[in-house]
Amino acid sequence: MGSISNGIPSWEERAEDKRRRILSQVPAAFIHKELTHTLEHSASVQEVPSKYLSPLELEITALDAVALVSGVVSRRYTSVQVLNAFTHRAAIAHQLLNCCLDFPYHAALGRAKELDQILDGTGKTVGPLHGLPISVKDQCRLIGTETTCGFIYPLGQLDTDDAVIVKILKDAGTVIFAKTSLSIGCMWGETVNNILGRACNPYNRTFSCGGSSGGEGALVGFHGSPIGIGSDLGGSIRSPSAYQGLYGLRPTSGRIPYYRMLNSMEGQETIQSVVGPMATSAEAIELFTRTIVEAQPWMQDPGCVPISWNQTTLESFSSSRKLRIGVFEWDGICLPQPPIRNALKTVTKALKAAGHEIVPWKIDTKRAVELVLRVFRADSASDIHRQCAKSGEPPMESACDSPEPPKSLIEAWDLSMECKDFRAAVLRQWNETARDGLPPMDAYFAPVNPAVAPRHGDYSKVRYFAYTASVNILDYSACTLPVGFVDPKVDLADDSSLTVDAAGNALPPPTCERDESIRKRYDPAIYAGLPVTLQIVGRKYEEEKVIGIVKMITELLKST
């Protein structure tokens, strides 16, 4: 490892220094040196905390965000107790999963003590999230921390202002205690960067936690945080949520503030990145989203739309109201693996049994992906190269997948119009689901990805983000729906011919090399225990409806 001339540290030295500092603020009692994130075994690490956490810490970290706020407000727990419980569990998560980039513990502890003093002294809370610990993806600017977006160059530069989403969360009474890893520039579906390397899945460390918000997915999936803040440009909230069995909301752009976030391709607005929550319950997603919208973010972020929260809409869609729901089983290009096909059948059966109408649905994902990739490659990865050049770190090939030359301004405008035309076509298609005096379908459910979490090194072989990216280009509201876990006795592999399933039912033959690769790589014995997750998709600015439907289906699944 060398140094750049004039004594300036090399990018490798800066990365190594950052790795040393990540746990430096965490109490020594929370660090267990015998733990390692090396892949020495493939078993789930979900049971590891029981060996290190106290009974109270285990009790606290088992709760969702709604129960935690209630527990603090009722004074069953103090904010300090809750912070310490999650910091301890998050420190274990990082040692096992390599998922965090910062623990601003001293600032978080000071805030937790302040919140306890306010509640004890006045009997009043600071806001609706009083005492709730929250982790944020390391593109959320947080005063006093380094915000990297997965790059080396920001190391050593402390934020002097908060992202708007962070400011609102602080005002609501949260305690921001961890910042999580992400793919370099947020431009890959696995969480890998030159600072930390690769993050892992808590259900099986030899499998991917997804990306680009994979650090959040791993941490929240390990119950090291009750809510994580991720971002989604092509599926970066929903894929990690799917791989860890979480609820993750991808809102329409402008519903939740994005201003002052650090990102790559800043200024690209044809397909906008959005911020959203990742949590262990739909109720936590509701609490978070309602809190942010009721704070009137449009008064702080010029990109936010002034749409008030509509609790009546949410409750009407989470009740027994009969709905028309589309099912997007597959797009005719990449067939979902058996566990995901079974999940689609499970949800379809539950909805039909409850009296809801199922509407067949399909989007032209081939056209959607073509447009999305042309937008993402419009600068020929020059922005990624530019950010990497600031430190001398090598651009990761995965983030620079851009075989096309950069587009001119006129070409970019033309591409933007093509995207608008695609949105108009899908809008017409959705409206045409109306029939016999009935309104168009309320929402649809679909795979997040055609594959469950891939093994490390396999992502490029199963990468197919059409089911998520089609939502991004449409700018629709979407939320993941955990359905279960891979059961090797139920989720049997297809016949080796790939044209017949385990029950002898005919399957469409593979349509392409990627489709064949996705099908061949599924092995029920190896994939056993991994989460199986779908997504619920509504139209633009229908977050309340989508959350309500997710809550309704979650309850139906509990009774099946």
Instruction: Compute the distance between CA of residue 192 and CA of residue 454 in angstroms, rounded to an integer.
Output: 14
Cβ pair 102, 196 in contact under 8 A: no
Residues in the chain: 560
Residue ranges in 307-458 assigned as alpha helix (H):
311-317, 338-353, 365-376, 382-389, 409-431
Active site residues: 137, 212, 236
232 three-state secondary structure: strand
Cβ pair 200, 106 in contact under 8 A: no
434 three-state secondary structure: coil
Instruction: Compute the distance between CA of residue 553 and CA of residue 556 in angstroms, rounded to an integer.
Output: 5
List the beta strands (DSSP E) in 203-302.
Answer: 227-232, 247-250, 274-279
The CA distances from residue 502 to 406, 448, 492, 532, in Å, are 47, 23, 6, 19
Instruction: Compute the distance between CA of residue 107 and CA of residue 117 in angstroms, rounded to an integer.
Output: 15
Put the strands of the sheet holding 274-279 in their side by side order: 100-102, 175-180, 133-137, 227-232, 274-279, 247-250, 478-485, 531-537, 443-447, 324-327, 357-360
Q: State the helix-helix crossing angle for 65-73 and 79-97, rounded to 10 degrees.
A: 150
304 three-state secondary structure: coil
List all residues 6 or more positions away from 157 whose beta carbon is below 8 Å from its beta carbon: 146
95 three-state secondary structure: helix
29 three-state secondary structure: helix
Cβ atoms within 10 Å of 422's Cβ, excluding its own: 20
Q: What DSSP letter does each residue of 478-545 carry, written as one string?
A: EEEEEEEE--TTTSPPPPTTSSB-TTS-B-PPP-SHHHHHHHHH--HHHHTT-EEEEEEE-STT-HHH
Q: H-helix or E-strand containing 87?
A: helix 79-97
Return the closest-CA partner of residue 273 out of 469, 535, 536, 444: 469
Instruction: Compute the distance between CA of residue 391 and CA of residue 18 in angstroms, rounded to an integer.
Output: 14
Buried-exposed string 213-239: b where 16+ CB fall within 10 A, e elsewhere: bbbbbbbbbbbbbbbbbbbbbbbbbbb
Q: What angle do CA 399, 405, 408 make, to 5 degrees?
A: 115
Structure token digits, residue 484: 């279960």
The CA distances from residue 40 to 34, 73, 91, 206, 237, in Å, are 13, 42, 19, 9, 28
Instruction: Compute the distance between CA of residue 242 and CA of residue 262 in angstroms, rounded to an integer.
Output: 24
